[in-house]
Amino acid sequence: MNIYLVVLLIIGIVVFSNLAMFGLARSSRGIKLHWFNPSMTKPFQKEDEQLSELRKQVDNLSQPDDEYSNQQND
């Protein structure tokens, strides 16, 4: 009987905490949180820009190779 009480208590805690978090999330929908930094929405923006620049350089370097290989095949 003791194990059933512990399992029931754990289930109750999990359900209550989920309901509490759901309620907090729903109630804070219209509130702008001051600690939420807009830079957190795009944390990898700098890395994305660097990768896109690297991708452009690779494309530029691969284009002459394609033209050169086409000339050799003719």
Predicted pLDDT at 63: 80
Predicted pLDDT at 8: 96
Q: Which tokens go with 17? A: 């905490």
Q: Which helix (H) or strand (E) holds 17?
A: helix 2-27
User: What is the Cα–Cα distance from 34 to 26, expressed in whole angstroms?
Assistant: 17
pLDDT digits (tens, 9 = 90+) for 9-53: 999 999 999 999 988 877 766 666 655 555 555 667 788 888 899
pLDDT digits (tens, 9 = 90+) for 52-62: 999 999 888 88
